[in-house]
Amino acid sequence: MFINKKLLIPLSIFLVAFLFRLFLTPQTHHVDIFSNSHWGEWIAANGSKGFYEARDWVYSWPTQPPLMSLIYGFDHKLYEFFLETLRDSANIIVKYHLAPGHMIWWFNFVIWFDNPLTSEIWFPVGYLSTIKLLPILADLGIAAFIFFLARKIKVKKPILWPFLYLFSPFSWYLSALWGQYDQVGFFFLLLAFYLLSKRKLILSPFLLSLSIGIKPTSLIFIPLYLFLYFKNKPNIREFFLGILLVGIVQYLSTKAFTDQNIITYTRETLIPIIFYKSDFRISTNSFNFWHIFTRDKIFGHNEVLFLLPTRIWGLLIFGVLNIIAISKIKVKKFKTVVFGMFIIGFGGWLYLTNMLERYAFAGVVSGLLLSIYFPKLLKYWFILSIIYWINLFRGWWYPETLLILKNFLTVNKGVFEVVLALLNVIFYLAIVQKVKNEEIRKLS
């Protein structure tokens, strides 16, 4: 079997990116992953029924939608599979005398994989690392799509674009170190929009439902998606089969957790847990538009600014952004769809209230996709991506050795954070305006 020489370099880059992430996974663990691990461990041990009603939690109560919770349970089963395979390999080495004296390092690795992280944190190192595997694979999936798109539109050196994604600090920081699943949700969202532009009106809604079931942050794309969907004029068969697949995903994932009526359980149990789990704030550690006014101070999203609650201002601006995005989209031109995704993804994070720092992921990656079509935007994207990584660092303060950056961000009550938030707004508006101007130039 021979590998196409043209694919040798891309495959090598993908492999290096994968191994680099695997190396990073056990280096550190955000406290969030301990909650995720406990949820997955509970489901693996007890089944999914009664999961959301359970109250005996060391770190935090379940806050993720059913599909995401099932994935955490799957992660634990996957860890058990890996552990059993590793143990079997060690037993085979001993049983058949396959140089056991030279394989001490392998036995030590198996022991390390199954050992608790510390005497206080009982989760095995291997389990914590396994939870990060799906986000890492999603990173590779997103990079593969970027490579596919770059080759499809025949840009020079198409491998440059997935390379930029795979080795940009924000991507491996969020997946291999933090262990968040924003990459997984966005991967399905990206495929849903791409298939929509190709008029695959049955599979596309199914993928969108997977994205929302994994990360509800994808909900901000619903108005844009519905516009494109109905612009494609689905026939009755496409419409009902698409709705059926979406219903099956939602029904089966929710039914796994209860014997109650699905609608009642969703309304009375899931929605309060998932969407009303904490106080709604103007901004939560996000270098977005609202951070310019709030800095690190905590304000509820009903705080009045210029005669209206900030929540209402955010929704009004978001409505305007949707109008702009919709006005620029041509259904069959994926370039315009990507433009719309950037407007909504990054703009929604900038102006809607109650946004966490990592919710900008969809907007940042959409910005990279947009730069493939408009390479002159790449310098602006670089700045946005670096600020995004700094914002992630600000939410965790890891690694601790970056004291210079920490001091820079916290000096004078975070005045430089305000500067970064202002730069996010400026470069977002600059990208939107430059794309609009470029499109007008091409039409003239």
pLDDT number for residue 439 = 66
Structure-block tokens of residue 353: 């209230």
Please report the DSSP string for 363-392 in residue order: HHHHHHHHHHH-GGGHHHHHHHHHHHHHHH
| DSSP one-letter code for 284 | B
Please report the DSSP string for 339-369 in residue order: HHHHHHHHHHHHHSSS-BGGGGHHHHHHHHH
Higher per-residue pLDDT: 342 or 5: 342
358 residue type, one letter: R
Residue among 54, 316, 30, 328 nearest 181 (CA): 30
With a pLDDT cut of 70, the percent of the chain lying above it is: 97
Question: C-alpha angle 187/368/417, rounded to 5°?
Answer: 100
- Beta carbons of 227 and 195 less than 8 angstroms apart: no
Q: Is the peptide bond before 10 cis (omega within 30 degrees of 0)?
A: no
Helix/strand/coil (H, E, C) string of 376-432? HHHHHHHHHHHHHHHHHHHHHCCCCCCHHHHHHHHHHHCHHHHHHHHHHHHHHHHHH
Q: 281 has which bridge partners?
A: 300
44-55 pLDDT, tens digit each: 999 999 999 998
- Beta carbons of 196 and 232 less than 8 angstroms apart: yes
Give the burial class of 4: count Cβ atoms within 10 A of its Cβ; 0-12 exposed, 13-18 middle, 19 or more buried. exposed
146-188 pLDDT, tens digit each: 999 999 998 989 999 999 999 999 999 999 999 999 999 999 9
Residue among 348, 308, 306, 305 nearest 324 (CA): 348
181-190 pLDDT, tens digit each: 999 999 999 9
- Beta carbons of 136 and 18 less than 8 angstroms apart: yes
86-100 pLDDT, tens digit each: 999 988 988 877 776
- Beta carbons of 407 and 416 less than 8 angstroms apart: no
Residue among 14, 263, 33 nearest 139 (CA): 14
For 294, residues 6+ apart whose C-beta sits below 8 A from its C-beta are: 282, 283
Q: Is 300 helix (H, G, I), strand (E, B) or coil?
A: strand
C-alpha atoms less than 13 angstroms from C-alpha of 384 in its C-beta half-sphere? 31
Question: C-alpha angle 329/334/339, rounded to 5°?
Answer: 55
CA 435 to centroid of chain Cα atoms = 25
Q: What are phi and psi of 304, to 5 degrees?
A: -80, 135
pLDDT number for residue 3 = 61
252-293 pLDDT, tens digit each: 999 999 999 999 999 988 888 888 766 788 888 899 999 998
> How far apart are the C-alpha atoms of 274 and 268, rounded to whole Å?
11
Using left for φ > 0, alpha for ψ between -120 and 50, and beta otherwise, residue 279 falls in beta
Using left for φ > 0, alpha for ψ between -120 and 50, and beta otherwise, residue 333 falls in beta
374 residue type, one letter: F
- Beta carbons of 372 and 146 less than 8 angstroms apart: yes
Residues, the chain:
444
What's the whole-number average pLDDT of the chain?
92
With a pLDDT cut of 90, the percent of the chain lying above it is: 75
> How far apart are the C-alpha atoms of 215 and 65, rounded to whole Å?
8
Structure-block tokens of residue 315: 């929704």
359-377 pLDDT, tens digit each: 999 999 999 999 999 999 9
330 residue type, one letter: K
Q: What is the largest CA-CA distance in the chain?
A: 79
